[in-house]
């Protein structure tokens, strides 16, 4: 694969990150994003197909969705009941009343950042949309692994997880993508349990 915005001489390299807890256990649902130091190299959004944040069994699905700034997101409701989805996040503030088989118009997410989602009807529901600056990002699986295909160059690597405290969101380091490589990233702080008090603090913060 080559990237037309950078010229077809630039080939994609596989950059892999394994996210671990302080105890050395793999961490699922972590987001890793590569932001080039020269931000003029960030391409515009290339897809016209909206991403999807569904409501299934009274839960957000997926729990964490990652998109590039400028992408659109659909909010279908696969449940047989009504949901009232909202966010007070700085990156995107909105409210949507969701009915079965009556999807609203998709929403544009133009500002990078973390968008925390809740439901006014079902207060246990929590989900996140990570809006990345560039298209080079991924979400860790159950083994904690993320693989990103990106052009060679110098980047700032951002790593985030929804159970990190808001003050811990800015975790980053400079990396070079030259040849296919793998990096182990150990979170410096223990992840916080997903409790109602944690969710209250989360939405108060945003």
User: Looking at residue 1, what is its pLDDT?
Assistant: 47
Q: Which residue has the tokens 């700032």?
A: 156
Percent of the chain with pLDDT over 70: 81
For residue 102, give the 3-state DSSP assignment: strand
Better-scored residue on pLDDT, 119 or 91 = 91
Residue 124 pLDDT > 90: no
Are 148 and 34 contacting, i.e. CB atoms less than 8 angstroms apart? yes
Domain residue spans of the chain: 51-131
The better pLDDT of the pair 205, 143 is held by: 143
Q: Which of 80-94, 106-120, 132-146, 184-198 has the lowest mean pLDDT?
A: 184-198
Of 29-38, 79-88, 129-138, 142-151, which gets the smallest average pLDDT? 79-88
Mean pLDDT, rounded, for 181-189: 78
Q: Nearest to residue 146, comparing CAs of 116, 181, 190? A: 181
pLDDT value for 84: 85
Mean pLDDT of all residues belonging to the chain: 83
pLDDT of residue 188: 67
d(CA 175, CA 34): 9
Q: Is the pLDDT of residue 71 over 70?
A: yes
According to the model, what pLDDT value does residue 179 have? Answer: 81
Q: What is the CATH number of domain 51-131?
A: 2.60.40.420
Q: Report the C-alpha gap between 177 and 57 in whole angstroms.
A: 40
DSSP secondary structure code for residue 9 in this structure: E
């Amino acid at each position: 694969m080559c990237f037309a915005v950078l010229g077809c001489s630039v080939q994609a390299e596989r950059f892999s990150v394994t996210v671990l807890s302080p105890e050395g256990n793999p961490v699922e649902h972590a987001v890793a994003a590569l932001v080039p130091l020269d931000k003029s190299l960030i391409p515009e959004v290339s897809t016209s197909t909206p991403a999807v944040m569904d409501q299934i069994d009274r839960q957000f699905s997926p729990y964490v969705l990652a998109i590039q700034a400028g992408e659109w997101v659909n909010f279908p409701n696969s449940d047989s009941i009504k949901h009232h989805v909202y966010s007070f996040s700085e990156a995107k503030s909105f409210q949507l009343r969701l009915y079965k088989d009556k999807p609203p118009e998709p929403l544009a997410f133009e500002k990078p950042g973390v968008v925390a989602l809740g439901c006014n009807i079902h207060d246990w529901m929590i989900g996140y949309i990570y809006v990345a600056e560039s298209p080079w990002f991924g979400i860790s699986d159950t083994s904690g692994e993320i693989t990103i295909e990106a052009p060679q160059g110098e980047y700032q690597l951002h790593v985030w997880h929804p159970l990190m405290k808001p003050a811990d969101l800015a975790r980053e380091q400079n990396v070079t993508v030259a040849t296919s490589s793998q990096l182990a990233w150990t979170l410096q702080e223990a992840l916080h349990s997903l409790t109602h008090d944690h969710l209250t603090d989360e939405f108060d913060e945003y």
